[in-house]
Amino acid sequence: EAGVTQSPRYAVLQEGQAVSFWCDPISGHDTLYWYQQPRDQGPQLLVYFRDEAVIDNSQLPSDRFSAVRPKGTNSTLKIQSAKQGDTATYLCASSFHGFEQYFGPGTRLTVL
């Protein structure tokens, strides 16, 4: 069974540029999560979905970040105007009914 896939694996931007991250969860998993993991810190939840619905996006900086999961399968996280403070690894994970999460390899973002 294929695991959670993410692309791109790496991204380097100048401040003010936009970037999109893509996630393909494990087939059949209804719950999808996006996390931000700064260097040497734990994952911080940005947003999570059950099927196509956003369950919680309270930690998503709404002025610059957006996330969608239109058909309840793949998901895209977008940063509209990146800042240096956005430098981190962005992790996508999926689970069935909110239990054991399977994580993708992450996208390492550097904003110069």
Q: Which residues bind other proteins (CB under 8 A)?
A: 31, 33, 41-45, 48, 55-56, 91, 93, 97-106
| Residue whose pair of structure tokens reads 């909110």 in the numeric block | 98
Query: Smaller CB distance to other proteins: residue 41 or 84?
Result: 41
Distance of closest approach, residue 15 Cβ to other proteins, in angstroms: 26
Nearer to other proteins, 28 or 42 (CB): 42
Spacing of C-alpha 95 from chain mean position: 14
Residue 48 or residue 65: which is nearer to other proteins going by CB? 48
One-character DSSP codes across 40-77: TS--EEEEEEETTEEEE-TTS-TTTEEEE-TTSS-EEE
User: Which among 74, 78, 81, 82 has a CA at the least distance from the CA of 104?
Assistant: 74
Q: Which is nearer to other proteins, 35 or 65 (CB)?
A: 35
Distance in Å, CB of 28 to other proteins, minimum: 16
Cβ atoms < 10 Å from Cβ of 7:
14
Minimum CB separation from other proteins for residue 36, in Å?
Answer: 11
